[in-house]
């Protein structure tokens, strides 16, 4: 359980939530871009560590799969919001 620290009339968690809400703005595209950037960095790191490929090679490999997933995530998120 996450402990919450009171900061006046708002808790730390609600402040963080408010900041994230302002950054994302509810936009499916912004959400998808942030997710994709993290996915690419993680994928490149994993390919680099497991295969010993160069950073350029692992970065190239890491761009293909997340790029396809980004399109799928965007479509899924738009449909999710429409039908939920």
Buried b (16+ CB within 10 A) or exposed e, 9-39: eeeeeeeeeeeeeeeeeeebeebbeebbeeb
Q: Name the residue range of residue 42's domain.
A: 26-83
Q: Which two tokens stand for residue 79?
A: 């449909």
**Cβ pair 76, 29 in contact under 8 A:** no
Query: Comparing 20-24, 29-33, 43-47, 53-57, which segment has the lowest mean pLDDT?
Result: 20-24
Please check whether residue 1 lies inside any domain of the structure: no
What's the confidence (pLDDT) of residue 1?
45
pLDDT score, position 2: 47
73 within domain boundaries: yes
Does residue 67 sit within a domain? yes
Q: CA-CA distance, 33 to 54, in Å (whole number)?
A: 25
Distance CA 57, CA 7 (A): 47
Q: What is the number of domains present in the chain?
A: 1
10, β-bridge pairs: 7
């Amino acid at each position: 359980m996450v402990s919450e620290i009171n900061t006046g009339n708002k808790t730390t968690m609600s402040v963080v939530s408010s900041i994230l809400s302002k950054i994302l703005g509810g936009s499916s595209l912004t959400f998808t871009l942030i997710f994709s950037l993290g996915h690419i960095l993680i994928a490149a790191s994993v390919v680099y560590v497991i295969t010993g490929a160069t950073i350029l090679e692992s970065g190239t490999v890491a761009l293909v799969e997340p790029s396809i997933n980004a399109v799928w995530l965007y479509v899924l998120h738009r449909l999710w919001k429409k039908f939920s």
